[in-house]
Chain A
Amino acid sequence: MYIYLPIAEVSMHIGIIIGLGGGVGFLSGLFGVGGGFLMTPLLIFFGIPPAVAVSTEANQIVASSVSGVLAHMRRGNVDFKMGAILMIGGVIGSTLGVALFSFLRDIGQIDLVIQLSYVVFLGIIGALMLTESLRTIIRSRKPGAVRGKLHQHNWLHGLPLKMRFRRSKLYISAILPLGIGAFVGILAAIMGVGGGFIMVPAMIYLLGMPTSVVVGTSLFQIIFVTANVTLLQSIQTQTVDFLLAGLLLFGAVVGAQFGSRAGALLRGEQLRGLLALLVLAVCLKIGYDLVVRPEDLLSVELRR
């Protein structure tokens, strides 16, 4: 059964939409990630216009982040103060990101910037994750491994506007989380992702937050960043496809449940290694599309 998506203005088989939601949902449940970095390229691959894919995916991530954050809140794994600072940065960043997105779309370069952002950031994060997990797997085979310090002090800790974050056991400058929030916000708006895959490593390695609160706090701020993108894209470009988001959501909710159950069967470093391979695969596929000669150098688009 085909369904006509009113905003994307594309007719798509309902099985493909729910299957995409379910498949990406399964992987996001398995690895504990949002899955935007998989879903947005897949939607574009299946013929959804990039602008609609990015905006609609933001809307869907609102839902998956809400359902994810609730579990972390019950366990007290959300640093609300840190989350609020990150969120302020994120709302500023994503507002800039939406404006940048519209500008790039008008000059015909949005596809290129989306693809380049994916290649660069997925490449960096994937490579880092892969080496980290391989090192852990190798180290775990050697007995008597020593654990490093919780976090190092560097020049970043000398910045003004210091704040105390009790839940994260940190006393650092608010400028740092504000900046990280803003940077990830810009990327989230352009790439159609929540940005957890950049936020989580940044929180651990740059802010030095304890790993227990990292995922919950990241999810908490992603809700607001993606809600901001949803609202701004609705107002400025009318590219949020409510019907598409709803159907993806339906598949994703069910898929995530199976994914998280499957995830319990694997060890942490194994999961991270697999996730790293997946991230790198997406990066390579998009990178390949950029370097290979297109079938037709000319393309057309109707102005709406």
Chain B
Amino acid sequence: MTGKRRMIRKWGMTLVGLVMLVAGPAMAAPKQIVADLSNSRVDITSSYHGTELLLFGAYEGMPGDDIILVVQGPATDIIQRRKAKRAGIWVNVETKVWQEAPSFYHVFATDSLPSIADEEALSNATVSPLAGGLTFIADRDDAANGHGGGEKPASSGPAIAGDPEQQNNLRRNMEANGLWQVLPSSIVTQQDMLFRASLSLPSNIPTGDYSVRVLHFRDGVALSERTTDMNVRKAGLSALIYRFAHDYSALYGIFAIIFAVASGWLAAVAFRRK
């Protein structure tokens, strides 16, 4: 693992050097920022157990400037349930469906977020999983019927639904499973010109199209922003099995049964004469 990390770092620094050369002329324009990922495609193969990507780039900075990096996954419905004690046992009693919420939201920064900018500036720059606006339906039946998700509530509520406590509960739940995260002081800068961050992606990462946004902050104000795309997808054997199971589900089931019958029969034959 350390070997791999070292390799990534070494390779990353070479790339950063290259970016410097390429980005040289661009940096003459004011408040420019350029960034790239060591790999814009994450393949979830059978041996996938989380991975590390290197994000690097160049910006026209001054001492005291900050960089914030937001890795955001595809929007999805988040089903939140609350347990309560009923007849002596803990039972789910309430369901809330947060609609079109980011399935993945990792924030990296050169410092802690409050010391970079105030809440309003961060919110204006949409540096919060809730900043894009979030609504929920707290109806049990909607949770039951809304398979596939996507339907909006009849009345359009406020941009961010719920009181701060409900929002914090969602945050806490999503941070507990590692899908939302804020990592302060996780970006390294050099000479107010170069930056790099090591993005470690967890093993339970949702698949789909991601955006990686880089923001340049000075005195609590976002000066410039750059977005790079990233794609997370199943690949190899795991993609094959997944596609088979979803596209030809009946055939998949029959195949699974035949495989089980054959291996059960083989096992019986193999161990018959001991």
Contact = CB atoms under 8 A, between A and B. Distances in A.
Interface of A: 1-7, 9-11, 59-60, 62-68, 70-71, 106-109, 111-112, 223, 227, 230-235, 238, 240, 242-243, 245-246, 249, 253, 257, 290-294, 296-303
Contacts of B149: 303
Given A6-B234, A67-B265, A109 B49 contact: no
18 contacts: A2-B49, A3-B46, A4-B44, A6-B245, A11-B48, A66-B260, A107-B140, A112-B89, A234-B249, A240-B245, A243-B46, A249-B260, A253-B267, A294-B90, A301-B79, A303-B77, A303-B78, A303-B79
Given A231-B250, A231-B254, A234-B249, A108 B76 contact: no
A59 B256 contact: yes
Contacts of B256: 59, 230, 234, 240, 242, 245
Nearest to A103: B144
A99 B102 CA distance: 31
A302 B78 contact: yes
Given A6-B234, A108-B143, A302-B103, A235 B44 contact: no
A71 B179 CA distance: 49
A299 B84 CA distance: 12
Interface string B107-143: 0000000000000000000000000000000001001
* Interface of A (DSSP majority class): helix
Contact of B173 (A4, A66, A296): A296
B79 A4 contact: no
Contact of A4 (B46, B82, B140): B46
A111 B89 CA distance: 13
A249 B265 CA distance: 12
A238 B246 contact: yes
B268 to A, nearest CB: 4
B260 A63 contact: yes
Nearest to A73: B268
Residue among A4, A232, A300 with max Cβ neighbours from chain B (10 Å): A300
Interface string B240-272: 011001100110111111011101110110010
Given A11-B50, A240-B245, A300 B144 contact: no
A125 to B, nearest CB: 21
A290 B86 CA distance: 11
B45 interface: yes
B172 A296 contact: yes
A256 to B, nearest CB: 8
B169 interface: yes
A106 B264 CA distance: 33
Contacts of B97: 303
B95 interface: yes
B48 A4 contact: yes
Contact of A302 (B46, B76, B81, B252): B76
B204 A10 contact: yes
B203 A2 contact: yes
Given A290-B89, A300-B80, A301-B78, A6 B250 contact: no
A290 B234 contact: no
A231 B77 CA distance: 28
B81 A298 contact: yes
B88 A242 contact: no
Contacts of A2: 47-49, 203
Interface in B3-18: none
B31 to A, nearest CB: 37
B256 to A, nearest CB: 5
Given A107-B143, A109-B92, A294 B83 contact: yes
B176 interface: yes
Contacts of B255: 242
B173 A298 contact: yes
Contact of B264 (A63, A111, A240): A63
